[in-house]
Amino acid sequence: MGAVMVRVESHQRPVETRKRYNEEDRESHERPQEERSAAVRQGIVDKVETALSDPKVKSVVICGQNGIFCGGADIKEFGPKMSGPPLIPMIHAIEAANKPVVAAIEGSALGGGLELALGCHYRIAHSKARLGLPEVTLGLLPAAGGSQRLPRLIGVPAALDLITTGRHVTAAEALQLGIVDQVTDNNTVDAAVKFALSVAGQSLDARRISTYPCPQPSHLDALFEEVMQKVRQSARGAMAPVACVQAVRAAATLPYTQGLEREKELMATLFTSGQARALQYIFFAQRAVGRWRMPSGAGWDTSKHRPVNKAAVIGLGTMGQGITVALAQTGLSVVAIETQEKQLMKAKQAVSSTLERGAKRRGVAPPLDRISYSQNIQAVADVDLVIEAVFEDMGLKMEVFQQLSAVCKPGTVLCTNTSALDMDQLASETPNPELVVGMHFFSPAHVMKLLEVVYGPRSSPQAVATAMQLGKKMGKASVVVGNCRGFVGNRMLMPYSEQAFFLLEEGATPELVDRALEEFGFSMGLFRMSDLAGLDVGWRVRKSAGLAEPREASGQSARIRKGYRYSPIADLICEQGRFGQKTGSGWYQYDKPGSRVARSDPWLHSFLEQYRARHGLVARSIDHQEVLERCLYAMINEGFRILEDGIAAGPEDIDVIYVFGYGWPRHRGGPMFYASMVGLAKVLERLEHYHQAHPDVPYLQPCSLLKRLVASGSPPVHRWREVIKKLHSQL
């Protein structure tokens, strides 16, 4: 018979190990998910056993179904009661086989899928295949021997890189690293069968990775110390990357079986952790937001997008430049419009050099010729979609939208990149408001992963679908949100920053607030982040909202606006010309304008003291717990209001926005997931407590959805939509 094939069948998703051989297995499709997964593993165990004991079989090829080897374990299966044969003995049995077992890797070999392949004696990959151990991104480590086999196969430094980042490698890189033995452009299974037959009967002694000594890099201790330091710094409190380093260290310093024990111990601390739950939640949330729906019921499954091959960007400031780069890198033809000649030249240079740098990194040609620049808005006449990114001024934007309606061909989708203005008001400037949506990018637009797609009451599902499809093509985590001041992300930022300003009034410093937030896991605390973004942005928004009016900076009225508590601290800082990094000072001081290293500023501290004295405020000691509770719970409370108002469809939408656009620590799953982990009753109780202490701060007043969720027993986050639906149906 020669070689026999064992097929690892993908289930309805491109992951999961399931084998289909006979009627009994086909019936397993009707079984509960966890039983089905167990049946897959059982199938592999049985089939391999049969093949190995059949004297006619000389070698075995393990391949996948539908062009995918195996994307790893089904994350939904993870839980306290995992049934079926465990992976480790299954992989050991394959590795111990006395006939060559070859993995034919097409599509993906990820996580448990790659661990299975590493247990095989040979690996043949298709040139388009991707391989990796992404467990760390799910709060785990490769615990089916992967953390012990990979360093033995490719060396410690390369294994540390792959395991601590979870990055996927191409087949070409896998070949270079030594993970696979051969790469083919042809039929992978055919190539693997041919290969398996060619090695039949040969000794397998040198093919069992678990028996390899782990290559010992020089200065082992120093290497691990350096990597651990780097990982701890970038992990911002995430446990899995640290555990991954510890597991690889075990591979480098212990015999295989002891290393495997250590791997198991480390996995035990991660497997049931809140961080793993949070990371796995965000994995599914990221995919769930693609299944958007508008209040009308129209959604991703009922709305067809328009094709977009040519797009225009109006206004080439920082945002416009970033959007132009992102569109060109996506392969679109772009018309870039800027009316000011000097700014047009400056922007052209900046866009070109960003594209050149990016292309150099990727080893491709820069797509410079995809962009045409013009000062004349008539140049947008034949584009399929326009993104307006002019200065944040309603009058100016209205003028642009009027011009666009006159110039664009029928059916062109008109998008505004406004971060807070009313996009429906802009829509009313056009004869076709159904074609108007918001595409709210985050700066720098070619780097940041988030896109808010904003619909107004008149936006058509087709326009939303077009913006969502373009976002997907650009590789953005795109989230559909309703139209309101600040949409989702910036609206939740208001209570967050307001609390931080109040904390300064009450005795905190920017350093204290930032430290608490950074220890929590934010990439940057609020004040450091504001210095980076520019303090003038928020100042302009507050001025346009009638809040930051220049007033006598003393007396009671200076700290009250529209009848509520207000802190003018940020406005006073701006009045001093301190706009953050770009001016060399803001909440911190910098060596020179544009410098990035924030240093404590004695001027700011004495300014705060004088401010408190002027307003009769007595500084008190504030701890990290209070900073977190006040800043984060106020923000979460606004998140509940957003759900209540129907601006976001579900908590996943808010969480994806915060993780991908606002530096919220991914291992904490986003603000709404975090609230569910803290306990909704606790969040409610703390908000009530702070609102009692600060009755003049409406953001601290617990919203009715939060109260309702608590009253209905604090259901888990994936059940909130039921409560929200009930609430809406009663309104």
Ligand X SMILES: CCCCCC/C=C/CC(=O)SCCNC(=O)CCNC(=O)[C@H](O)C(C)(C)COP(=O)(O)OP(=O)(O)OC[C@H]1O[C@@H](n2cnc3c(N)ncnc32)[C@H](O)[C@@H]1OP(=O)(O)O
Nearest residue (CB) to ligand X, 43 versus 134 = 134
Q: How many helices (H) and strands (E) does the chain have?
A: 29, 18
- Strands 182-184 vs 169-170: parallel, antiparallel or unpaired: unpaired
Interacting stretch for ligand X, rule CB under 6 A, among 39-47, 65-73, 176-184, 491-499?
Answer: 65-73
Nearer to ligand X, 134 or 438 (CB): 134
Q: Are 376 and 348 in contact (CB under 8 A)?
A: no
Per-residue binder mask for ligand X (CB under 6 A), 347-366, x = binder: --------------------
Per CB under 6 A, 73 contacts ligand X? yes
Nearest to ligand X of 80, 395 (CB atom): 80
Structure tokens at 116: 């299975």
How many CA atoms lie within 13 Å of 243's alpha carbon, on the beta-carbon side?
26
Using CA atoms, how far residue 365 sits from 173, 357, 447, 602, 689, in Å, is: 21, 10, 19, 49, 59
**With the CA atoms of 406, 410, 412 and 413 taken in that order, what torsion angle do they form, in degrees rounded to the nearest 10?**
90
Stretch that binds ligand X, among 72-80, 500-508, 520-528, 695-703 (CB under 6 A): 72-80
Binding residue (CB under 6 A) for ligand X from 271, 373, 564, 607: 271
Size of the site for ligand X (CB under 6 A): 23
Identify the residue among 43, 64, 71, 433 touching ligand X (CB under 6 A).
Answer: 71
272 lines the binding site for ligand X (CB under 6 A)? no
Reading the block at residue 297, the tokens are 């019921």
Q: Closer to ligand X at the Cβ: 72 or 366?
A: 72
Question: Which one is catalytic: 9, 106, 115, 263?
Answer: 115
Residue placing its CB nearer to ligand X in the complex, 75 or 247: 75
CB of 110 to ligand X, least distance (A): 4
Using the contact rule CB under 6 A, the part of the chain among 74-82, 541-549, 642-650, 694-702 near ligand X is: 74-82
Contact 568, 553 (CB under 8 A): yes
Cβ distance to ligand X smaller for residue 266 or 314: 266
Tell me the per-residue interface mask from 109 to 148 with ligand X, x by CB under 6 A, - otherwise.
Answer: -xxx---------------------xx--x----xx----
The yes-or-no answer on residue 115 being catalytic is yes
CB of 26 vs ligand X, minimal distance in Å:
21
Helix (H) or strand (E) holding 451: strand 450-455
Which residues are CB-neighbours of 249 under 8 A, at least 6 positions away?
224
**Residue in 9, 77, 135, 263 annotated catalytic:** 135
Cα-based distances in Å from 173 to 111, 168, 200, 370: 17, 10, 27, 30
Q: Which of residues 573-632 bind ligand X (CB under 6 A)?
A: none
DSSP H helices, 54-187, are 87-96, 112-119, 146-154, 156-165, 171-177
Q: Is 481 helix (H, G, I), strand (E, B) or coil?
A: strand
Work out whether 267 is an interface residue with ligand X (CB under 6 A): yes
Q: From the list 38, 75, 371, 377, which residue makes contact with ligand X (rule: CB under 6 A)?
A: 75
Tell me the closest approach of the beta carbon of residue 290 to ligand X, in angstroms.
Answer: 7
Told to check if 191 binds ligand X by CB under 6 A, we report no
Per CB under 6 A, 531 contacts ligand X: no
Which span sits near ligand X by CB under 6 A: 13-21, 474-482, 560-568, 702-710? 13-21
Beta pairing partners, 373: 336
Q: Which of 629, 244, 303 is nearest to 467 (CA)?
A: 303
Closest approach, Cβ 28 to ligand X, in A, equals 17
- Of the two residues 271 and 607, which places its CB atom closer to ligand X in the complex? 271
Phi and psi at 646, nearest 5°, equal: 75, 20
CA nearest to 666, candidates 292, 286, 291, 288:
286
Instruction: Fill in the DSSP letter of residue 348.
Output: H
d(CA 574, CA 566): 16
Query: In one letter, which amino acid is 166?
Result: G
**Residue 134 CB, nearest approach to ligand X (Å):** 4
Here the tokens at position 437 are 């949506």
Residue 74 or 429 with smaller CB distance to ligand X? 74
Q: What track of x and - describes contact with ligand X for positions 286 through 305 (by CB under 6 A)?
A: -x------------------
- Whichever of 107 and 151 has its CB closer to ligand X, that residue is 107
- Which of these segments, 24-32, 106-114, 361-369, 715-723, binds ligand X (CB under 6 A)? 106-114
CA angle (386, 390, 396) in 5-degree steps:
105
Q: Which helix (H) or strand (E) holds 169?
A: strand 169-170
Contact status, residue 126 vs residue 170, Cβ threshold 8 Å = no
Q: Work out how close the CB of 148 gets to ligand X at its nearest, in angstroms, rounded to a whole number.
A: 14
**Per CB under 6 A, 327 contacts ligand X:** no
Max intra-chain CA distance, the chain: 94
Query: From the list 37, 59, 108, 490, which residue makes contact with ligand X (rule: CB under 6 A)?
Result: 108
The two tokens of residue 513 are 């607030």
Q: Is 14 in the site for ligand X (CB under 6 A)?
A: yes
> Which residues are bridge partners to 59 per DSSP?
3
Task: Give the shortest CB-96-to-ligand X separation in angstroms.
Answer: 19
CA distance 277 to 133: 18
Preceding omega of 510 cis (within 30 degrees of 0): no
Nearer to ligand X, 26 or 287 (CB): 287
Catalytic positions, please?
Answer: 115, 135
Positions in the binding site for ligand X (CB under 6 A): 13-15, 71-76, 87, 108, 110-112, 134-135, 138, 143-144, 267, 271, 284, 287
